[in-house]
Amino acid sequence: MAQPEKALEALLEEDRLFYPPQDFALQANVRDQGIYQGAQKDPEAFWAAQAESLDWYKRWDQVLEWKPPFAKWFVNGRLNVAHNCIDRHLKTARKNKAAIIWEGEPGDSRILTYQQLYYEVTRFANVLKGLGVKRGDRVTLYLPMVPELPIAMLACARIGAPHSVVFGGFAAEALRDRINDAQAKVVITADGGYRRGQVVPLKKNVDMALEGTPSVEKVVVVRRIGGPFETPMRQGRDLWWHDLIGAAPLHCPPEEMDAEDMLYILYTSGTTGKPKGVVHTTGGYLTGVSTTHRMIFDLKEDDIYWCTADIGWVTGHSYIVYGPLANGATSVMYEGAPDFPARDRFWAIIEKYGVTLLYTAPTAIRTFMKWGPQWPERRDLSSLRLLGTVGEPINPEAWIWYHRHIGGGRCPIVDTWWQTETGMILISPLPGITSLKPGSATVPFPGVDAQVVDENGRPVPKGSGGYLVLKSPWPAMLRTIYGDPQRYVNQYWSRWEGMYFTGDGAKWDEDGYFWVLGRVDDVINVAGHRIGTMEVESALVDHPTVAEAAVIGRAHEVKGQALAAFVILKEGVRAVPELISELKEHVARKIGSLARPEDIIFTAELPKTRSGKIMRRLLRDVAEGRSLGDTTTLADPTVVATLSAKEAKAWSGEGG
Ligand code: WTA
């Protein structure tokens, strides 16, 4: 087994190029390289031309107003996102086309045509109005991957109430913080959701979260589980979705929103302990996500498109809901786990619905690799014609495996780089014209001004590495951090004059291709989920036994990165093995299981610089079992001696 792997690795070092297959290139939505020059010469004209394909109540007066770092796109334009995602399709042949194909984990399914989606959304919009939700009020959605989630998002968009979707994997306390930061008036949840056959008790978490959320007036509960599963409802506050929607009138005129009105807030981890509420607005966002979705996924009228992300993350917002529906596509959503009931669940779904475009994450691909090609081989994947990845750098081995075993060697792969903050894909191939290099997200999308710069903000020469920045605004960019514009300025726009700093390191090769290397700040990307080291550190020091903690990301074969926590215990506390699982559980309880550290390493001291900064690079070396590099800037060089890899391993619980 080891030999072919080695041979493959050698091949990969050869910098292989994959040209667009000829039959694909001939039918592609974008066939002309000229699109790059055109957009570069006049980005505003390029984006204005894209915005024309949306329905506007009132056209904009000005494409872009740029007062760095604050941008307004399509100034004074007026439109409604729900109208663009639903109503306008009803006048066309899309009326009875499937908008959402939903597959529940236990095997139940539901297909909503655009017409049916219209009825669901307008009725729920009326429900929200009946609960007193007005234009501008915030609504928090804490739901599993069920159709009611996009329905509720679109209902909010219809009445101009920004939504804040909180991923169902977050714990009560994390949910509470997000509700309070947004000052949400209504929370929408479900009795539970399915995950590997187990019930995730969402409403129970909401009840705990709502012990400290004075802004919340009503809770709407979707009955997903029902049966003997008990859900206590609080009189006067909690209402069942099905009771409300049954009584709600059909039709609800969409609000005419300003292009710059807030569409949603989405919380993401940053370099400080508190998650940031990333604000996305209406006109530029919808223009950005619909254009990239159409061009990058080469969307055709009869495609069946499946993005496997959870709508709790930005990928689901932009590329399950808003981009695809604005384009009148059929978007598949799946509730559960890829290995339930068996390890071929994804491939079974592709076979069942004839999925043509698949968008997933490198961590999932590495998991499938581990499970072996026999699982996809059991299913008919011949409907697939294009594959996509997002969320973290994809290693060439995983790229090749995906290409061969899922794409049958015939499907282009679009490796798409972007962030919660960018709202839309910014670096990606255009599959009909871009030659692919496994592991590279290739080149910036037309009209996008990305660069790799050095410490001083100067562009690095081709063939070198540095920091990934964006030098001009793009339509779907975040507009601010909710309630904290200063933080928006500091976080993204103050490292170098006039540049947006992504937080990512990148390399630029001789052909001008971008290779994103990963975060260079205190954000850790675990299985494609962003986690701030500070959030996990504050959760740890909140435990009564912990005096100090430092969290780093270490390399992990499947997840890309895993969390390793170095913990100093309080005087007199014994470092017993049971404490390791107790601390892991504690973090999961406070933030959610996605933040559960892989390793807890007890230590007597942490390596710090003379100015008191923890030297995370050294901790990473320890966690990854490397010999320690340069330690000359350490305040107390003896600390590293006690942190030798061997001892650390023994303390981590694996060794004893
Ligand atoms: C990483 C997810 C390499 C990157 C859409 C970024 C990637 C962070 C890629 C944003 C990619 C995302 N190649 N790295 N194709 N896509 N990343 O906000 O570090 O959850 O800064 O948005 O994921 O994560 P977020």
Which pLDDT value is given to residue 632?
61
Residue with CA nearest ligand 1 atom 15: 417
Which atom of ligand 1 is found nearest the CA of 313? 20
Task: Read off the pLDDT of residues 310-331 as tens digits, 9 standing for 90 and up.
Answer: 999 999 999 999 999 999 999 9
Confidence at 611, pLDDT banded by 50, 70, 90: confident
Which pLDDT value is given to residue 637?
56
Confidence at 6, pLDDT banded by 50, 70, 90: very low
Task: Read off the pLDDT of residues 557-610 as tens digits, 9 standing for 90 and up.
Answer: 999 999 999 999 999 999 898 999 999 999 999 999 999 999 999 998 898 888
Give residue 503 CA to ligand 1 midpoint distance, Å: 10
Tell me which residue has tokens 């050869």.
14
644 compared with 268, residue with greater pLDDT: 268
Mean per-residue pLDDT of the chain: 93
Which pLDDT value is given to residue 652?
47
588 compared with 522, residue with greater pLDDT: 588
Q: Is the pLDDT of residue 12 over 50?
A: no
Q: In the chain, how long is the greatest CA-to-CA distance?
A: 74
Sorted by sequence, the CB contacts under 8 Å of residue 413 that are 6+ apart come out as 18, 386, 387, 388, 389, 399, 402, 403, 407, 429, 436
The helix/strand/coil state of 507 is strand
Cα separation, 223 vs 193, in Å, equals: 9
Helix (H) or strand (E) holding 469, with range, is: strand 465-470
Residue with CA nearest ligand 1 atom 6: 419
Give residue 421 CA to ligand 1 midpoint distance, Å: 10
Cα separation, 44 vs 56, in Å, equals: 18
Residue to substitute in 525, 526, 529 for testing ligand 1 pocket (most ligand atoms within 8 angstroms of CB): 525
Answer whether the bond into residue 69 is a cis peptide, omega within 30°. Answer: yes
Assess contact for 173 and 473: CB atoms under 8 A: no
Which atom of ligand 1 is found nearest the CA of 427? 15
Ligand 1 site residues, Cβ closer than 6 angstroms = 268, 313-315, 390-393, 415-420, 441, 502-504, 516, 518-519, 525, 530
Confidence at 229, pLDDT banded by 50, 70, 90: confident
Residue with CA nearest ligand 1 atom 13: 393
Give residue 409 CA to ligand 1 midpoint distance, Å: 25
CA 138 and chain centroid, separation: 21
Task: Read off the pLDDT of residues 103-117 as tens digits, 9 standing for 90 and up.
Answer: 999 999 999 999 999
Which atom of ligand 1 is found nearest the CA of 268? 18
Cα-atom radius of gyration of the chain, to the nearest Å? Answer: 24
Q: Is 383 exposed, middle or buried (0-12, 13-18, 19+ CB in 10 A)?
A: middle
Which pLDDT value is given to residue 9?
47
Share of the chain above pLDDT 90, in %: 87
**The pair of three-digit structure tokens given for residue 510, joined into one six-digit string:** 């001789």
Give residue 366 CA to ligand 1 midpoint distance, Å: 16
Which pLDDT value is given to residue 13?
53
Cα separation, 148 vs 227, in Å, equals: 19
Give residue 425 CA to ligand 1 midpoint distance, Å: 10
Give residue 1 CA to ligand 1 midpoint distance, Å: 32
Q: Is the pLDDT of residue 272 over 80?
A: no
Assess contact for 148 and 190: CB atoms under 8 A: yes
Q: Is the pLDDT of residue 45 over 60?
A: yes
Task: Read off the pLDDT of residues 398-456 as tens digits, 9 standing for 90 and up.
Answer: 999 999 999 999 999 999 999 999 999 999 999 999 999 999 999 999 999 999 999 99
Task: Read off the pLDDT of residues 123-177 as tens digits, 9 standing for 90 and up.
Answer: 999 999 999 999 999 999 999 999 999 999 999 999 999 999 999 999 999 999 9
Distances (CA, A) of 55 to 50, 52, 77, 85, 166: 11, 7, 11, 10, 29
Q: How many CB atoms lie within 10 A of CB 36?
A: 20
Sorted by sequence, the CB contacts under 8 Å of residue 365 that are 6+ apart come out as 389, 394, 398, 401, 402, 406
Give residue 153 CA to ligand 1 midpoint distance, Å: 23
Give residue 25 CA to ligand 1 midpoint distance, Å: 27
Distances (CA, A) of 67 to 44, 72, 279, 649: 15, 9, 17, 52
Give residue 222 CA to ligand 1 midpoint distance, Å: 31
Cα separation, 412 vs 435, in Å, equals: 9
**The pair of three-digit structure tokens given for residue 176, joined into one six-digit string:** 């509470």
Which atom of ligand 1 is found nearest the CA of 421? 18
Which pLDDT value is given to residue 647?
47
